């Protein structure tokens, strides 16, 4: 007799492994669906279909829709924020900005669903991430803006509003993910090809440099 099959009993490590595997299937599926419809518009059934699992399994692993949404959002936040590391006081301004813009736009092209989910979250009131924006992101931007102000004082950059500068860079880079459909429709080509992405990156980087008086 096979007790494992009959009773469903699994030893601790096996149980953990199965859970890990299934969560790794469910979370990306949920990211896609939440990205497209927002929290309220997304349905557990759609996510289940995208993951090719019965709907009940999602509840077994995540309890409820809200928790699943939180888990997906957590995974995104780190990757959304990490490009800011490129801006450090010691770095060369032009190189640092190139790395920052490059990492932001690479995120848009490689994980458009993640960017869209974040956009939906903010657009729909930032119910979940508002505390994080108000504390952590505000603090982080203040630090990085201070570094830019230092570069301006040292005559390395033209004068500009360094806080609004970040709003501009975020929007110019994220638009390639969030508004990809509009961009494809207007430009007449999908931005999936290497060449198209290189062209977009060159345009944004050149724009950012010009804003800073570096070109």
Interacting residues with its own copies (CB under 8 A): 36-41, 116, 119-120, 122-126, 130, 133-134, 137-138, 141, 158, 160-161, 163-168, 170-172, 174-176, 178-179, 181-183, 185-188, 199-200, 202-204, 206-207, 210-211, 213
* Alpha helices (H) along 42-92: 44-51, 55-62, 65-81
- Kindly tell me the burial class for residue 49, based on how many C-beta atoms sit within 10 Å of its own C-beta (0-12, 13-18, 19 or more): middle
In this complex, which beta carbon is closest to DNA, that of residue 56 or of residue 81?
Answer: 56
CA 154 to CA 166: how far, in whole Å?
20
The CA distance from 42 to 94, in Å, is 42
Query: Which residue, 25 or 137, is less far from its own copies as judged by CB?
Result: 137
Q: How far is the CB of 141 from its own copies (least distance, A)?
A: 5
Given a contact cutoff of 8 angstroms between Cβ atoms, the answer to whether 82 and 44 are in contact is no
Smallest gap, in angstroms, from Cβ of residue 89 to its own copies?
A: 20
Query: Of 22 and 106, which CB lies nearer to its own copies in the complex structure?
Result: 106
The contacts of residue 104 (CB under 8 Å, 6+ apart) are 83, 169, 170, 173, 174
Q: What is the C-alpha to C-alpha distance for residues 120 and 117, in angstroms, rounded to an integer?
A: 5
Q: Which does 158 bind (CB under 5 to 8 A by kind): DNA, its own copies, none?
A: its own copies
Instruction: Return the one option of DNA, its own copies, none that residue 154 interacts with (CB less than 5 to 8 A, by type).
Output: none
Q: Which of 28, 36, 50, 55 binds DNA (CB under 7 A)?
A: 55
| Rounded-to-10 torsion of CA 206, 140, 109, 106 | 60
Q: Which does 22 bind (CB under 5 to 8 A by kind): DNA, its own copies, none?
A: DNA
Name the residues that contact DNA, by CB under 7 A: 8, 10, 15, 18-19, 22, 42-45, 53-57, 59-61, 63-66
């Amino acid at each position: 007799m096979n007790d494992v099959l009959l009773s469903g009993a699994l030893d601790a490590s096996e149980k953990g492994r199965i859970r890990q595997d299934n969560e790794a299937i469910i979370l990306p599926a949920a990211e896609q669906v939440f990205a497209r419809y927002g929290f309220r518009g997304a349905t557990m059934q759609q996510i289940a279909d995208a993951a090719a699992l019965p709907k009940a399994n999602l509840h077994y692993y995540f309890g409820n829709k809200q928790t699943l949404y939180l888990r997906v959002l957590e995974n995104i936040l780190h990757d959304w924020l990490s490009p800011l590391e490129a801006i450090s006081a010691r770095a060369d301004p032009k190189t640092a900005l190139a790395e920052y813009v490059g990492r932001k736009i690479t995120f848009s092209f490689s994980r458009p669903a993640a960017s869209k989910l974040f956009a939906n979250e903010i657009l729909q009131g930032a119910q979940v991430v508002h505390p994080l924006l108000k504390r952590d992101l505000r603090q982080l931007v203040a630090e990085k803006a201070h570094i830019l102000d230092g570069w301006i004082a040292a005559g390395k950059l033209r004068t500009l509003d360094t806080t609004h500068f970040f709003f501009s860079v975020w929007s110019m880079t994220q638009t390639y993910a969030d508004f990809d459909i509009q961009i494809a429709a207007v430009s007449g080509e999908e931005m999936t090809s290497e060449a198209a992405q290189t062209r977009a990156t060159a345009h944004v980087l050149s724009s950012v440099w010009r804003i800073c008086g570096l070109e």
